[in-house]
Each structure stands twice: as C-alpha cells, then as structure tokens.
Structure 1
Amino acid sequence: MAKYTPMMEQYLRIKADYQDAFLFFRLGDFYEMFFEDAIKAARELEITLTKRDAGQDDKIPMCGVPYHSAEGYIKNLVDKGYKVAICEQVEDPKTAKGVVKREVVQLVTPGTVMESTMLNERNNNYIASLSHFEDGSFVIVYSDLSTGESRIAVIEAGFDQVIHELYNQPIKEIVISSNLPEELQKQLTDRLRVTLSYQDEISFNGEYRAIFENLNDEKMVKAFSRLLNYVQFTQKRSLDHLKQAEILELTNYLSLDMYSKRNLELTETILRKGKHGSLLWVLDKTVTAMGSRMLKKWLERPLLNQVQIENRLEAVEGFYKAFMERDSLRESLKSVYDLERLAGRIAFGNVNARDLIQLKKSLQRLPEIKEHLSSFTNKQINDLANRLHVPTEVVDILESSIIEDPPISIKEGSIIKDGYHEQLDTYRDASRNGKKWIAQLEQREKQETNIKSLKIGYNRVFGYYIEVTKANLHLLPEGKYERKQTLTNAERFITPELKEKEQLILEAEEKSVELEYNLFVEIREKIKSFIPDIQQLANVISEIDCLQAFATVSEANNYTRPTFSESQLTIKNGRHPVIEKVMDDGTFVPNDIELDEEKDVLLITGPNMSGKSTYMRQLALISIMGQIGCFVPCDKAELLIFDQIFTRIGAADDLVSGQSTFMVEMLEANHAISNATNRSLILLDEIGRGTSTYDGMALAQAIVEYIHNHIHAKTLFSTHYHELTELEDSLSRLKNIHVRAEEYEGNVVFLHQIKEGAADKSYGIHVARLANLPDKLIDRASVILEHLESTDQSQEKKVINPATEVESNQLSFFIEDGVKETKKKEKQEEDSTLITELNELDLFAMTPLDAMNTLYRLQKLAKEKIKI
C-alpha cells in the first residue's frame, strides 16, 4: 500500500496530539481539514466536502475555510461546544527544506475564547476546573481569561452542592482529572451541558507565583495548578493579566441553588433562555460592558453582611437624590470602553492599535468622571472618586505614539505617528518623497551633462537607472557613471548617489511596515506593566456603574430604600419588579407581606391565575434586590437578611435526567428541607399535585408540619388542598391568607389582592372556561363537581357513570325548535339586564380598582352572551 505524502504524514502527527479538537491545518490562504474532521466540519459548518490525493490509492475527505474569514467558522464550532486547534506555518516557505514546519499555536475551546468578536461583551466567559480530594472535598476554580479574574471555592457538602454551585455561573468548559468517576462526569455533562476537558498535571507553576500568593491551602494550590496548566497548554502565550486568585467564601453570600435560580428567573427566563423578562433585564441600566458583567455577578451572589449592603444602599441613595449629577456621570461613563478585556488582550498579545486608542480615550475620561463623583455630597460616592487613580504614563505613551484612527491590522503599517521614531521617519520620507527626489535628480543630471534626452527610469529587474542615448554618451563625465545595461540605441547607468537612494526607496516601505510592527510590540510591552492599574480602575468603574444603575432603575420605577431587621419582615404594597414592567400599564396590584417570629408560615389558597406564584416570587426578588444593595419595588420594606432561598415553583419534567414532574418536585422539596435553616426563605407552590389527591395532600401536610416544627424557616406555601387550611388551628405559627376572587353570574373575576383567611374554592372550572374549553365539557365538569362536593365526606367519592349524563340529557328532536326559542328569549332578557346594569353604573363614585374590576366582569359577561 502506498504511503501518505510527507505533508499528510505531518498532519497526522500533529492531529495525534489533538484528538478531541478540529485541526485547522494552514495551507496557503486556507485552513484545511481532513478525514473525520472534514466530514464533521462540513456538516456542522455547512461547507462543501471534497477529496484530496494524499498518496494513498483512495482520495481522502477534505474541506477548508479561508484564512481571512476563519474566525466566524471557529466561533460557530466553539459555540457548539467543540475545540479548534490552530496549526500555522512557523517557518518561511521560501527557506524551508522539504515540508514547511507547522505547529499548533493555539487551542481555542469554549472556555478560553479571547477574541472580542467571539464574546458577549456583557457576559463573562468562564472556564472552571473541578478537583476531587481523598477527604471527600471538592475544589472549584473559576477563571475568565478575557478579564483575568480568578476565583476558588472549597465545597465539603458533597457532589450535589458542586452541581448547584457550578450551575450558578455561566460556565462553558470544565477541566477535570481523567480519574474523576464516570458517573460524576455524566452528571456534569447532562445537568450542566458543558464541555469537559482533561488535565492530570497539577504541579505548581512557579512562573505565576503571584497568582498563588494568598492560597495557603495545598488543595487550592493543586486545584488552581490544574486549571493554569491546562490554560497554558491550550493558549501557548503570556498570561500576565491573570489576577491573584480570590478565595470565594460561599458562606458570605446568600445561597441560591440551581432550582431557585431557574425558578426565579434571575438572569434568564425559563422558556426562552434569554435576558428579556428576567430580573437582570429590569435592573441592568449600566452603561459599560464591565459594569453589566459586575451587576450580573452581584445578582448571582447577594450579600449577607449588613454593613456591606448598607454601604451600597447609601451610595445608591446618593446617586438617587442627585439626578443632574448622575445623568452627567452616565454620559461620561458611556465613553469608557471595556478596560477589563482591553487589559486581557494587551497581556494576551492580540490587542490592536484601535484597542489602544480605546484605552487612551477611556483613561482620558477618568479625570472628568472623578470630578463628577467629587461633586456629590455622599461619603460613599466620594470614596469611589478617591479610588480612581489614572495612570497618566499610559496616556502619554499612547498620545505620542499611536495615530488617532489606525487600521485594524498591526502588520500593514500606518499605525505610528510621525516624529515618534527617527528611523521610521526616514523610511517614510523616502517612501513618500522618492519619486519627487528622482524627478529632481533627473533635472539636475540634464543640466550638468547638457543632455536634454537623459531620463531616469525604473524596472523590477534592474531597479532605478539613468538612460542616455548612444549619440550623447560622449557628453557624460568620466568616472561618475557605472554601466548597468546596454540597449540597441542607448546605455543605462547608475551613480553611487542613485544607488544609495534606490536601496532606501525600495526598502523603505517594507522596512517601514516591519519597523512599525516592532514599535507597536514595544509599546504594547510598555503598557503591559500597567495592567494591574488598569484592572483596578476597571473594578472601580464597574462598581460605580452598578450603583448608578441601581439609582437609575429605582428612580424610574419608584423603588424604596429597604431597612433590615433581625426578626420582622414587613413589605407594604410590594410589587413584582419584572411583571410590573412587562405589564407597563399601571394595572399591577400591589400587596403586603408580613412575617415574624410568631407567624413565619403563610399558607396561601386561591384560584389558579389569581397571583399566588407571583406573590411568592415577589417576596424572593424583593429580598434579593435588597441584599445586592438595590432599592426595592414597594412603599415600605423592612427585610430580613436570608442566608438561603429555596423555591419549588412551576412544573417541568427533567427529561435529560429521566425524571417526572413529580420527581423533580420531590427533589426540590427535599433539597429545601435538607438544607434550610431558621434564617432561610422557603417558597413551595402546589406541592403534591403530581400524584393522587390523598397522596399529595398527605405529603403537603407533612412538609408544612416538618418546616413549622423543625426548621422554622420563613415559608410561603400555596396549595389547592383547602383541607390544609385547618392547620391554622393546630400550628401556632401558621397563618392562612388567600388571593381574592369574586364570582358574578357564573364568571370569576381575579382581583389579585391578598387577604387574611382561607379561600372558599379554587375556581378551576372558571379558569378552564377562560381557556375556551368547549362549553359542553365545562357543563359536564360542573355536574361532576357538584356531585363530588355534595357527597358526604364519609362516603366514597366515585366517578359518575357517563351513561347518567346521556339519560338525563335526552332531548326529543320534536322539541328542539322550542328549546332554541326559549334560549333566544333568555338571551334577550340577559342582554337587557346587561344594558340596564351599564346604565346604572355611577362611574364618578367608583375607585379606579373598582372600575377596572367591574369593567372586566361585564366584558366577560358580554363575551359569554355572544357565545350563546
């Protein structure tokens, strides 16, 4: 069998080291892929699959993408969870002997993306590593290469807690040991949908000693080394922008498990997986990308320390009260680019001249921002101003070196200002003025030789020359002209002066471009030493942006500064921050919430669609907003500082894990019961509905009793099991509340008002009617409900025989017309009643809420008449 060609053998050797990645193999102006890579890439990228002769009898599969547009294809693959190994030519093809040497210069993975076009500017792009130790503990390390931030957390509560922690961060890739048990690896991929990568080397890397300085635990050092070694292997370049690893003390933050984060829709909605409709969507009034990222991190980790919370609230109040100053600050912040990621690209070596101009313009804005902050009378805001230290040396370097509107490429020249470098100015002068100098030399030579036909020309083979016709050769002075080429009617010469200029002119542009690139690299290296200063500035600017955003959204939505209590939670006219924005018409009905040591469990009854779930989520979101330092949507708020929030709201199967709605419900309930403390908030919605009535009711009652008797967490428990309302008599700290609804002529009007006491019914059939189920079906359900409700509790409730309906509703064909006539008369009477009621309304004596409810009821009534 014939061997592969030398080039293909080179490809196979390199590919052997990158089996889990697409190998983008540089051939001229294309990145080529072969064999299985080509087949899969052609399918994923929707590009043409061809074949190539590789020395074997059969041609091999091949596809390729243009070098200059490869970034888009790489992004496509990485977004789908794949890795891409970039294999470049690392020697000049002109001087290469045999096959040009090639090496992988970077492995692009979902967690190591650095190119700005491949990143969402308002989201972090985390890579994580997970290490498991013999004592049963796990250590998680987070890093965002684009910003340089690194965090590390130790978890000793088991793998389930690891899953919850990892879920709460936007992680694209997790680096693990190849020895991590298969069942744990499967949980990571199934439950978190991330790319797994493997790194077994965990030896300490002394090159980045500063990053490890505050890690005094051997487990942390090994865990961080695992991630750092993997990043070095994949990126193959400087990581000088990595900040010192921050130890993440999880006990300093309000804990939100994966269920709660999902159910509360903090950063994305459940159905559409997008920002719109989430709490983040409402709160994000930041004007910088780095501020937006920080706000999201604050939202994912609310504070427990009241002093820290109050410091944020005090700054927010300062911004809130000074609209004009805040508005001026916002305008200035709009001119600040993403300092965090600019610093990352400077260290990484993929920064361009436009990036450096963005850096300069951002730094030039900082004195103005500092002046705005100093104009506030608020101490916290003044402290922020004092933390803004502008590295003026960076501004001076960039102001003197980089032109204001440079090209994107750093290898094609036109980057450096005139006057910055003497040799570059010389090259540019030769390049720009070369033709002018040649023309002047030609005129001087004509005058000195008195040869009017003398001319200076140029061709690629001989370069510049002086051409003299043979008839005038005798006029040339001896010794000055060196013969270069003989023609039929003329001779071509060169002089030492022209030869010197020729070399300068021909090399000027090439050397100018090369020198500009080298100068740019020197400038980049100078700026690199200021990366810690730039990162510190980015952190302060992000904090300022978040706090002014809280003030902006609080003023726009009429939020109130909360206070905090050790035992009492009181919210007056609380509102759901997201729903009121979605409705955006002022019709949202506010409600009070009160919990204390005497009544810490609220049992909520009321119809579906009446607002029970909204009321529960509302409490959680207001609490979270308060604990991140934002004002809250209500007239008055005295809040508790919760250590954890657990939610069981909404119904959904976990198809990936093969779990039913009821199993998911039980798992979430168990997680809450097993981990909650007396400082936690538990929200349980419709527990027990996924099984039989008696099973569900028994479980619901047992859960309420367990929380009440053993956990003492603040709890909202909604249910349709009205029998549970009797627990108020036996559980001293349980209180019944209900969502008010009114029934009028067979229709229900939801008032969305929370009242004390239990609801009298669930109005499920009325909700079904609103969903436009067939009238015959609704009527039948009413008959069955009446039977079930009239049956004595001691009697067994059985399904009504369907035949009963047929016998009781037999209609003679001979009387059908009479029935129709009767219904017609009834409808006319009902229409007359409707008109009479409308005429009798005293609109000026009604409150807006009464008017809205009456209009809603009459509209429903009118629609029912139209159906008849």
Structure 2
Amino acid sequence: MELTPMMRQYLAAKEQHPDEILFFRLGDFYEMFFDDAKLAAKELGLTLTSRSGDAEKNPMCGIPYHAAESYITKLINKGYKVAIAEQIGDPKAPGLTKREVIKIITPGTILSESALTSAQNNYIALLYEAGENVILAGADISTGECFYGVYSGQDRTQMLYDELYRLAMPELVVIGELSFNEELLAFIELRLPRCSFTHREKPAEQPELRLSQHFPRELWPQENEAKEGLASLLDYLHETVKNDLTNLNRLTKLDVSSNLVLDTYTLRNLEVTRNLRDGGKSNTLLDVLDYTETAMGSRLLKRWLEAPLRSIAEIDRRFDAVEELSEGFTLRESVRSSLKRIYDFERLLTRAEVGTANARDMVALKLSFRALPEIKEALKDTKAELLRHAYENIEVYKNLEELLEKAIVDEPGITLRDGGIIKEGYNSELDEYRAIARDSKKLLQEMEEREKEATGIKTLKIGYNKVFGYYIEVRNSGKDMVPEHYIRKQTLANAERFITEELKNFETKILGAQEKIVNIEYQLFTEVRETVAAELTSIQKTAHEIAVLDVLASLAEAAASNNYVRPRLMDNGEIRIKDGRHPLVERILTQDLFVPNDAVLNHGDTEIMLITGPNMAGKSTYMRQTALLTLMAQAGSFVPAREAVVSPVDRIFTRIGASDDLVSGQSTFMVEMNEVAQILKYATKNSLVILDEIGRGTSTFDGMSIARAVVEHIRDHIHAKTMFATHYHELTDLEGGHVKNYCVAVRERNGKVLFLRRIIEGSADKSYGIHVARLAGLPNSVTQRAEKILEALEADSVNTVPEKKAKAVPEPKADMGMGSLFADTLREDLMAYDVMTMTPLEAMNALYKLQQQAKKEAGKA
C-alpha cells in the first residue's frame, strides 16, 4: 500500500511512541489509526472508519480536539498512556503541516482537573534496585511534591510495601530487573490493583545535572543510588510532560524514625484513611476528622494520619494550636470562613507553570489571594507557635491580585482560543479591534461622512464585495473631484471605485479582527499566567502554610463538635484513657448510646490486657478504640474521652478480623499467622499491639497452644503494650506479673443474656457462642442440640484441660456496685446533686434523667 505524506508522518511519530495511544491532530480532530484506532474505539465506544473505505484494513477513528480531555481521562483511568501529536506549523501554509508529540499523558502525570480527585494526591513512584539497596523515588507533579527513600536489610521489601500502600499511586516505574519482582507483582495485584507499570532499562546517566535543575544541593540524597533513582524519575517526568517542571522544587526523605509507623495491615484493619468495604473514605478515621475547607488541607490531613509523630514536643505544638482554635470560637470561625474561599493553590500553580491553566484557574487564584489578608488579620493575636508561624509566613499577593482583577474577566469561558477572557480597558490594541468588530458598520459610516466632507463629493459612498473587498465609489459626475491619494481599483459604466490607505488598513482590521482578538487575548493571557508562575516558589510556601492551618482548624472543629479532650503526653510508657469512645462507632450509633470504657496499659502490672468475653460484646471495638485514640493523639488530634494520658508509641500493630486473601491463595488462618509473624518480628517495647482471637482458624488445642505461646513471647521477650482478646478461657491463668485479666460485663436473667459493653477487671467463664447463634436466627433445634453437645464436651474436657487458676468473675447482679458497670458520668451526675436544696419537681426531673441514662447504658432504652 502506497502511503500519503501525512500517513508517513503519522507512522514516524508512532514508531517513536509504540507504548502510547497516539492522538494525531488533523484540523479540528485528533485521529487514531490502525491498532490504536481499534483499541480506542473499543475502550471509548467510537465508530471505526477508514480513509480508503475499508475499515478492516485501514481502521481509523477520531474525536473533536475541544472534547479530548474527557476521552483522555477515560483512557488514563483504564491504565493506558496517550501521546498528543499537535500541529506545529501553520495549517494554512502550502505543503504538509509539521506535527510533533508535545506531551505524553500517563496515569501518574495527568494534570487535567477532571481526572484528579481534589482531596487525594496523584503520586507516581519509581523503584530501582542497586546492590543491597532498594530506592523508592516519588512525586506528585500536580502539587510539586518530591520524595525518596532508601531501603536495605532483610526488612526492606516489607517497609517498601507499607510505603507503596500509603502512596496508592496509579503508576509505578521500574528500572531494570528487581530481585523481588514476582513478590512485588503479587502485592500490587492484591493491594493496589489500579496501579499500572512502566519499565525503563537503565537509570539516569547524569543524575547530578538533573537534580541541580530542581533542588538545592543540600537537599540531595547522600547515596549515589538514591541520586540515580531520583534523577531517573525526573527524567521520565520531563520526557512525558515535556516541560521544565520548576514546580518540583521540594524534596523530602522518607524517614520513619521520627514517625509512628503504621504498616499495611494496621492501616487496613483500623480503617484509618480507607475503609475495608470499597477502599473509599467513608466511615474512616479520616472521614470523622476531616472538617477541612481546602483540598490542600484534606490531602495534608491524610498524610498526618498515615504518619503520626513520635516527638512529644512536636505533638504538643499541634495540640497548642488545636486548643487555641477549639477554645476560640470566633477565631476558628473567622479562619475557616476565609479558608472556604481558597482554591487548590498547589494544583493551580502547577497548571500555570506547565502552561495548562485556563482563565478560570486565574480567577480562582485571584479569589484565593483576596482571602489571604483576612486570614493574616485573624491570626494576628494568636499565641500558639504553629499559628504564629502561619501568620508570619503567609504572604499577601496584592500586586498579583490587582493584575488578575484588571486583566481577567470575572466569568471567563473554559477554552482560551474562544476569546472573551481579557477585560475591556486592559489593552488598547485589543480594545480597538473589539470596537472594530463590534462597531464596523458605524465606523464605516463615519469614514464615509468624513470623506464626503473632505472631498466635497456628495454622492461618494463606501461599499464592499467579496471579490474586491472594501472600496470608495464615486460617480462619473464627481470623478474630477477625486483626491490624488485615492487609488483606482475598478472602473464601471457610470462610476469609478477607489481605495485609500486608511480604507485598506480598516479592511485588514475588519476582516482579521476576530482572529486578531483571539490571538491578542491569548498572548495577553499567557503573559499574565507567566507573571503568576514567576512567583511559584513563594506561593507554594504560602500554600503549605494554608494547608497546615486548615488541618489544625479541622482538628479543632472536630474536637469542639464531638466533645474531644486534649491528651496529656508522657514518656513513661503509660497509656491511660478514662471513658474513651470509638470515634467512628459513636458517630454511627444514632439509636443507642455508646458506652465509654477505660483503658490502662503500662510496663508494670498491665503490660498485657488479656480480654475474654462473648462475641458481639464489643471486644474488637474496644481494642480498635484504644489504638485509634493513641494514633489520633500522636497525629495531633484531641481524642474522644473524658481524660487521656498517652506515651507516644513507635508502632501500632493490629491483627483483627478474618479475611481470606483469595487472590494470593492464602486461607484465613495463613493470613492470620503471617500478620502475627510480622508483629512478633518488628514489635518493640515501645509498640502498641492489638491481637484479636489468635489461633481460631485451626483445631482447638492447636489454636490454644499458639495463642498461649504468642502471649508468653510478648510477655517475656518483647514487652510491648498489648491487648489480647481471646475465647480461650484457659489462658486467663497467665494473669500475674505483666498480665492482667479483663472481660466484658454480661448480665444473665431468665435465660436471656445482656451485653453491657463495659470492660471490667476479671475473666469471663463463658463465650455465649450458642446465645449469639440464637440471636443470628439458627433454628431452635440446632441451638438446643448445640447446648447438649457443649455440656458433653465440657464434662469430657475436665480430664484433659488443666484446671483454671484464675477465678471467674461472678455473674453481675442487680445489687452489684453499678459504678463498675456503667459510665462514671452517671455516678458523678448523681453525686453532684444537692438533694437538700432541690424542689420536688427538680428532684423528679433529675431522677427521670438518671433513669433514662441508666436504661441506655443497660441497652434497654
């Protein structure tokens, strides 16, 4: 088949981009050909056509260029890459129009507003293995962040996977071959199924040259391998975005030594930022605490929760700011009201820097600039260090605000090439062309009157036709009065037609006015955009301060709205919580009252809380609650409790719930053992460990043996603060030394069981599994038969199971001290009443209130 010059041009471009779908600009359309056309037609629902009439042999399909963004986004979301080949030459010039690929769009480099979730980062990550080290480099080009980490030793891949899970990047670039490639693929498939891979053969050849384009030398990695990995990522970004990317100027090293480490299991089990149901934000800790007003703040809050602090001084700095904002209602409302008017600075700046920002983006920046003086004014008299820092470092951009106000219309269109984006009065040349386009008829009439008056030719008139354009027509009777500067253009039977320099200039302006208007507006807009981009570094710093302020205000709003308290930080290893509440569960419970509970963990007599009690009684909720409150405190958040003392921990480990990793072919029990193995391997004396029902996935004696051995190992070798929930009552004989028994209070009456949701000292003597089965709806015949089997098994086990040493807690009775079963708030409310001075009506109201509270806490309301 003989190819046209245009098709040869297309194939040459496609040869350079075999892994991308090539969008080839032809006039007002992007066209795709051959295999790209088949793929795009399938994924986008387009109709295949052909220039030759044979869609099977020479398939093609196309989309309007002005609607390309939505089509590209669809392809990117499916994991494809798109190369954009634009017309570089003048389409009106003779011969083949020059075209070249101006950018490549990938899942990790897409910048269109419609493709990005405002409250989430869009990271791209790169892995490079050099000897014993694995280098992770990453960036979010939409916000200007860049980071790297170096992993070595036997734990390198586990630490790497934990970080990849946090990043949740849509694209991973791999340099060369990885020794753990199969393991990595399995992890990505299981935990990050939407992540696409990009392979590169070699690392960057001149890493320092590339690094010098973005970061000051003092920020560069020390390790040569890290320099190569980071430069390789930057090379890839430059090759795809095809821009100097000066917004990538902030570099941080991933270092867990200063943070509370939350591994993949813990982040999932505690549902910190992603829920277990669909991986979304709803019903997560992030969801509960997110009162942010800006996209920047929401993204930063997520990072704070996924990497809480360990330094008491740094945490207290956050507490001081949250306290001042939570106690100062007027201050908080003023700050949050101003924050509402601030758009996504970081991404607006990136689009300005790479040249994709439109006029609406500039208006958003203007409105954001306008809110900054109000924020500084609100913070002027604050005392907390972080609030003072925000006050001092938030810049006010009055000049840019005035420029944008003067230049850009208040409600511009989306497309820059349609015009209508520059205000009247900003540019005299533009105003002149607009006047010509708008008032051409009036201007021609004025010119005609001037010429009549100047020449004295009363019959003179100005006309227009498509062949000759504009002309001055003079009848033969007046041709003797024609001035010398008139140029003869056409002779008619009874008239002569002329042109003048003024009329020629007017004609040029008239005919090209609209095109000129669009071109001038575009040029003026790009100048404004470049002026804004020139302040990029300064505005980025202000954006960061705004994000921090937004997070602090969000945590303050959460504290004020949900009755949270400031934890007291200690360094003695103790965690002591009074009337703690689960931040997620208490919000979900609308009909029932959440029953608060105490928690005490230390390195003395309660290093390990051994918790027994029935299913559905609240053990898992209680343990998650303790872990979440500790995490919240170290992130800088107040906590749902009456009092809280927290000694920062280095890691939180959780083994909660049952889940089969069917994709990886692992059973529930295998998953459980893997997670326990990780905990025993990495936990330290300063860790918090949450273990729920260890060993239940195998036979009773196997499971009991494993559970007991795990508790003993933690007690004797690790000394981590541990909550260990179990149905194996036989383990309660471990009490003593660092182990203390706790159980869930239960009341039995007339064969019915009531779970009181209170954790009390002592051990349970029953699991009430059959009772739970009855509540679930198992037939009576089944549950009755189960009770008989249980009686036989318990009788038979007397000779095979060692006698329990720990005394079981007696069944709660009506005359027991209810202070041990119900919240201390009830007792304190009762003690606070001055009975001798109350009127009868006041006494009745108080008694009724206490009765309703008691009913709720007993589950009878």
Q: TM-score, normalised by structure 1?
A: 0.88
- Please report the RMSD computed on the Cα atoms of aligned residues, expressed in angstroms: 2.4
| 1:4–1:56 Cα contact (<8 Å) kept | no
Quote how far apart the aligned CAs of 1:444 are. 3.3
* CA-to-aligned-CA distance 1:831-866 (integer Å, 9 cap, x gap): xxxxxxxxxxx9959743542466649xxxxxxxxx
Q: Does the CA-based 8 Å contact 1:140-1:223 persist in structure 2?
A: yes
1:202 to 204, 207, 219: 204
- CA shift in 2, pair 1:56/1:14, >3 Å: farther
Letter in 2 for 1:653: D
What is the aligned partner in structure 1 of residue 159 from structure 2?
161
Report how far residue 771 of structure 1 moved. Answer: 1.4
Aligned residue for 1:851? 855
| 1:116 counterpart residue number | 113
1:497–1:795 Cα change, 3 Å: closer
Matched, 1:661 2:668: yes
**Range moving further from structure 2, 785-794 or 763-772:** 785-794
* Closer/same/farther in 2, CA of residues 408 and 294 from structure 1, 3 Å limit: same
Structure 2 distance, partners of 1:185, 1:36, is: 30
Which secondary structure state, in structure 1, belongs to the residue aligned with residue 417 of structure 2? coil
Distance in 1 (CA, whole Å) between partners of 2:404 and 2:208 is 33
Give 1:259 shift: 0.5
- 8 Å CA contact 1:451–1:475 kept in 2: the answer is no
Q: What are the superposed Cα offsets for residues 94-115 of structure 1, whole Å, 9 maximum, x if unpaired?
A: 32524x3332221111111111
Deviation of 1:118 after TM superposition, in Å, equals: 1.1
Deviates more, 1:4-13 or 1:595-604: 4-13
Residue matched to 2:19: 20
1:449 and 1:475 in contact (8 A); partners too: no
**For residues 765 and 114 of structure 2, what CA distance do their matches in structure 1 show?**
58
Q: Which residue of 2 aligns with 1:97?
A: 95
What does 1:192-591 align with in structure 2 at a 5 Å threshold?
192-193=192-193, 194-199=195-200, 200-203=202-205, 204=207, 206=209, 209=212, 210-211=214-215, 213=217, 214-215=219-220, 216-447=222-453, 453-470=459-476, 472-474=477-479, 476-477=481-482, 479-487=484-492, 490-565=495-570, 566-585=572-591, 587-591=593-597
What is the correspondence of 1:674-713 to structure 2 with a 5 Å cutoff?
Answer: 674-713=681-720
Is 2:648 the partner of 1:641? yes
Question: 1:714, CA displacement in angstroms?
Answer: 0.5
Deviation at 1:368, TM superposition (A): 1.1
In 2, distance between residues paired with 1:618 and 1:313?
A: 20
AA paired with 2:256? L
Q: Offset at 1:717? A: 0.8
Rate the CA distance shift 1:327–1:655 in 2: closer, same or farther, 3 A.
same
- Residue 29 in 1 paired to residue 24 in 2? no
Separation in 2, partners of 1:153, 1:253: 14
Per mean C-alpha deviation after superposition, the further-off stretch among 377-386 and 227-236 is 377-386
Aligned residue for 1:831?
none
**What are the Cα deviations for residues 743-781 of structure 1, in whole angstroms up to 9, with x where unaligned?**
233332221110111111111111112211222222222
Partners of 1:580 and 1:407 lie apart in 2 by 46
Aligned match of 2:820: none
Cα shift at 1:196: 1.2
Name the residue aligned to 2:759. 754
Verify: 1:174 aligned to 2:172, yes or no.
yes
In 1, distance between residues paired with 2:849 and 2:759? 24
Question: Counterpart of 1:810?
Answer: none
CA distance in 1, matches of 2:726, 2:211: 56
3-state SS of paired residue (1:52): coil
Partner of 1:615: 622
| CA shift for structure 1 position 8 | 3.5
| Inter-partner Cα distance in structure 1 for 2:41 and 2:776 | 47
CA distance in 1, matches of 2:361, 2:699: 63
Deviation at 1:792, TM superposition (A): 4.5
Aligned residue for 1:186, secondary structure, equals helix
On the 8 A contact 1:8/1:54 being kept in 2, the answer is: no
Kept in 2, the 8 Å contact 1:123–1:293? The answer is yes
Q: Which SS does the other structure have where 1:175 is aligned?
A: strand
Residue 139, structure 1, aligned to residue 131, structure 2: no
Cα displacement string for residues 87-142 of structure 1 (whole angstroms, at most 9, x for unaligned residues): 222222332524x33322211111111111211111111111112111x1112122
Distance 1:284 1:266 in 2: 12
Name 1:791's counterpart in structure 2.
796
Structure 1 position 491, deviation (Å): 3.7
Cα separation, 2, equivalents of 1:76 and 1:726: 60
* C-alpha spacing 1:92/1:585, structure 2 compared with 1 (3 Å): same
- For residue 171 of structure 1, give the secondary structure of its aligned residue in structure 2: coil
Secondary structure of the 1:603 match is strand
Moved more, 708-717 or 688-697: 688-697
Distance in 2 separating the partners of 1:748 and 1:185: 49
Question: What CA distance in whole angstroms lies between the structure 1 residues aligned with 2:858 and 2:648?
Answer: 40
**Cα deviation, residue 637, structure 1:** 0.3
Cα deviation, 1:706-736, whole Å, max 9, x if unaligned, reads 111111001111111111112215xx21111
Aligned to 1:830: none
Q: 1:89 to 1:762 in 2, by over 3 A?
A: same
Residues in 1 aligned to 2:184 and 2:659: alpha-carbon distance in whole angstroms: 24
Change beyond 3 A, Cα 1:737–1:410: same
Q: How much has 1:558 moved relative to structure 2?
A: 0.4
CA contact (8 A) 1:580 1:586 kept: no
Q: Aligned pair in 2 of structure 1 residues 229, 787: CA closer, same or farther (>3 Å)?
A: same
Q: What is the SS of the residue equivalent to 1:461?
A: coil
Q: Which amino acid aligns with 1:709?
A: D
The Cα shift of 1:474 comes to 4.2
Q: How many residues align?
A: 805
Measured after TM superposition, the shift of residue 623 of structure 1 is: 0.6
The aligned counterpart of 2:838 is none
Distance 1:761 1:57, change over 3 A: closer
Name the SS for the 1:739 alignment partner: strand
SS in 1 for 2:110: coil
Note if contact 2:455-2:483 (Cα within 8 Å) is conserved in structure 1.
Answer: no
| Distance of 1:552 and 1:448 partners within structure 2 | 76
SS in 1 for 2:730: helix
How many angstroms does 1:515 deviate by? Answer: 2.3
Instruction: Tell me how far apart the structure 1 counterparts of residues 188 and 9 of structure 2 sit (CA, whole Å).
Output: 34
Supply the distance in 1 between the matched residues of 2:401 and 2:71 (Cα, whole angstroms): 36
Question: Could you tell me how far apart the structure 1 residues matched to 2:2 and 2:507 are?
Answer: 50
User: Structure 1 844/790 Cα, relative in aligned 2: closer, same or farther at 3 Å?
Assistant: farther
For residue 416 of structure 2, give the secondary structure of its aligned residue in structure 1: coil
Task: Give the drift of 1:423.
Answer: 3.4
Bigger mean CA offset, 569-578 vs 526-535: 526-535
- SS of 2:19's partner is coil
CA distance in 1, matches of 2:797, 2:506: 114
1:449 deviates by 5.6
- Equivalent residues in 2 for 1:46-65, closer than 5 Å: 47-53=45-51, 59-65=57-63
The letter of the residue matching 2:555 is F
Secondary structure, counterpart of 1:791 in structure 2: helix
**What CA distance in whole angstroms lies between the structure 1 residues aligned with 2:18 and 2:502?**
60
| 1:540 Cα offset (Å) | 0.5
- Give the Cα separation in 2 of the matches to 1:794 and 1:96: 101
1:239 CA displacement: 0.2
Gaps of 5+ in 2: 802-845
TM-score by length of 2: 0.89
**d(CA) in 2 for partners of 1:260, 1:302:** 13
